[in-house]
């Protein structure tokens, strides 16, 4: 009848209302899905960050390892056991010289707050042979990190592998992976004559080494890939006069 709204089951449905209802439901589902992905991603990232860090313990006495490469004899002496866990921000492989075959891979690791996307993108890394140089520039919306914090949370590591299978695992490591390396901090000596060895590769053994040029030489017993992070692109720093430059050999 005129003037009355027909609410019976047989009444014709307005397709516009049905479509709007369906679209609203789909939009809500999409928001929930992407929200869940974001939360899970944040939890995953925070879990990896919570596992990051560097642990160093003094040995009772010393351990000694030897290696002969192309007729040259190397001796590695360790006084500290070392475990480092963090984000791979740079890597490079080597093989030209006997010392390169002793240590065929360098991996630069960052941990702590430097694993956060906003901080990571404000860094630019550049490798030159065994040296990594990095420049950073914190943007206005960011809380700047102290210089000491940065130098204490980035480590350039020259890796000597205890066995080939550890070397093979390490070759799979890429920038963006979060890894755990276990082994010994070693001082590397090269045999000069029958009774004389000359140190050719010193390693920092200070737990917190503020020297910018400090690096670690590791005799690696185990490498574990814990996961990987979806990293943003670095924001290019066009002017070499902008940002703080640090290098580690």
The C-alpha atoms of residue 130 and residue 153 are separated, in whole angstroms, by 19
Mean pLDDT over 104-109 rounds to 94
- CB–CB of 222/183 below 8 Å? yes
Residue 59 has pLDDT above 50, yes or no: yes
pTM of the model as a whole: 0.77
Higher pLDDT, 1 or 29: 29
Higher pLDDT, 29 or 232: 232
Confidence at residue 225, expressed as pLDDT on a 0 to 100 scale: 93
Mean pLDDT over 53-69 rounds to 92
All structural domains of the chain with their residue ranges? 1-50, 52-248
Q: Which residues contact 157 (CB under 8 A, 6 or more apart)?
A: 84, 106, 107, 108, 109, 181, 215, 216, 217, 218
- If pLDDT is split at 50, 70 and 90, which confidence band does 5 have? very low
Tell me the pLDDT of the chain averaged across its residues.
80
């Amino acid at each position: 009848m005129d003037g009355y709204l027909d609410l019976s089951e047989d009444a014709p449905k307005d397709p516009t209302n049905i479509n709007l209802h369906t679209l609203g439901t789909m939009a809500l589902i999409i928001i929930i899905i992407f929200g869940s992905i974001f939360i899970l991603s944040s939890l995953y990232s925070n879990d990896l960050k919570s596992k990051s860090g560097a642990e160093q313990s003094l040995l009772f006495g010393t351990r000694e390892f030897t290696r002969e490469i192309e007729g040259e004899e190397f001796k590695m002496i360790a006084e500290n056991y070392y475990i480092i866990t963090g984000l791979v921000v740079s890597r490079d492989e080597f093989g030209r010289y006997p010392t390169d075959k002793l240590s065929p891979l360098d991996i630069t690791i960052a941990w702590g707050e430097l694993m956060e996307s906003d901080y990571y993108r404000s860094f630019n890394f550049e490798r030159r042979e065994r040296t990594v140089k990095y420049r950073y520039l914190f943007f206005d919306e960011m809380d700047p990190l102290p210089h000491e914090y940065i130098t204490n949370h980035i480590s350039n590591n020259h890796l000597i592998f205890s066995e080939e299978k550890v070397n093979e695992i390490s070759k799979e490591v890429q920038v963006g992976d979060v890894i755990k390396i276990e082994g010994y901090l070693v001082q590397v000596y090269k045999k000069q004559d029958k009774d004389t060895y000359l140190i050719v590769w010193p390693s920092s053994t200070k737990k917190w080494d503020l020297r910018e040029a400090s690096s670690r030489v590791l005799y690696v017993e185990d490498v574990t890939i814990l996961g990987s992070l979806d990293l943003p692109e670095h924001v290019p720093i066009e002017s070499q006069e902008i940002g703080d430059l640090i290098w580690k050999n």
